[in-house]
Amino acid sequence: MICLVLTIFANIFQTGWTGANERTFVAVKPDGVQRRLVGEIIRRFERKGFHLVGLKLVQASESLLKAHYWELRDKPFFNGLIRYMSSGPVVAMVWQGLDAVKTARRMLGETNPADSLPGTIRGDYCLEVGRNVIHGSDSVESAQREISLWFQSQELTCWEDCSQHWIYA
């Protein structure tokens, strides 16, 4: 009920969600999809206690990817990154939970898999920075921007998770 009221009165793309309602954007990159790691990645987020509110398999357009990676446009690897990200399907997700952005980033591991600890997604499944399986928002502001790029508001589902009282005090 509270979630429905918040959805009606708040625009999730302009209002910072905090606490247990914080949202983050996570994308399984083409190499993660090709390696069939999607289920394992979803399992990790679910077991952590996060709440899935958006999920879709997409072939990302060049314009979407350029907007998503806009801050990297001057880097020498930018064009290669866009080619790689458009080379196959991407699984785009929105997860909700307490400190979702920070916690998801820790679950992903470092951008360079060589710096990632075992137990993180990149630490367990990646060897090279150019094929690092997954993307996660690096701040609440980035999460809001990325969610609005990849999802329309009607594609995000607000639903009551009956396990929440077992996760949050």
**Annotated binding residue at 122?**
yes
**Annotated binding residue at 120?**
no
Query: At 147, phi and psi to the nearest 5?
Result: -60, -45
Query: What single string gives the DSSP state of each residue in 9-53?
Result: H--TTTSPP-GGG-EEEEEE-HHHHHTT-HHHHHHHHHHHT-EEE
135 catalytic, yes or no? yes
Q: What is the DSSP letter of 55?
A: E
**Annotated binding residue at 105?**
yes
**Annotated binding residue at 29?**
yes
From the candidates 51, 68, 135, 165, give the one annotated as an active-site residue.
135
**Annotated binding residue at 83?**
no
**Annotated binding residue at 23?**
no
Sheet holding 134-136, edge to edge: 51-58, 90-96, 23-28, 134-136
- Any idea which residues carry the catalytic annotation? 135
Residues making up the binding site = 29, 77, 105, 111, 122, 132
Residues making up the binding site for ATP = 29, 77, 105, 111, 122, 132
